Amino acid sequence: MNEYTTVKSESSAEFIERKSKFIGYICPVQTEDEAIEFVNKIRKKHPDATHNVYAYLTREGNKQRYSDDGEPQGTAGIPVLEILLKSGITDCAVVVTRYFGGVLLGAGGLVRAYAHAAKLAVAAGEPVKMVTCYECDIVCDYSRYNMLQILLSEHEAEITDTQFTENIKISFYIEADKFDALCADLTEKTGGTVDVCKNSEKFMPIKIKI
Domain map (residue ranges) of the chain: 3-125, 132-202
Closest to 185 measured CA to CA, from 154, 161, 208: 154
Taking the chain (210 residues) in runs of 10, the rounded mean pLDDT of each run is: 85 95 96 97 96 96 94 96 94 97 92 97 93 94 94 93 95 93 93 91 74
CA dihedral 180, 8, 127, 203 (to 10 degrees): 30
Q: Can you tell me the distance from the alpha carbon of 17 to that of 52, in angstroms, rounded to the nearest whole number?
A: 16
What pLDDT, on the 0 to 100 scale, is given for residue 205?
78
3-125: CATH topology: Ribosomal Protein S5; domain 2 (3.30.230)
Q: State whether the Cα torsion 22-26-31-35 is positive or negative.
A: negative
132-202: CATH topology: Alpha-Beta Plaits (3.30.70)
What pLDDT, on the 0 to 100 scale, is given for residue 3?
84
Give residue 55's identity as a one-letter amino acid code.
A
What pLDDT, on the 0 to 100 scale, is given for residue 209?
60
Closest to 155 measured CA to CA, from 122, 121, 189: 189
What pLDDT, on the 0 to 100 scale, is given for residue 203?
85
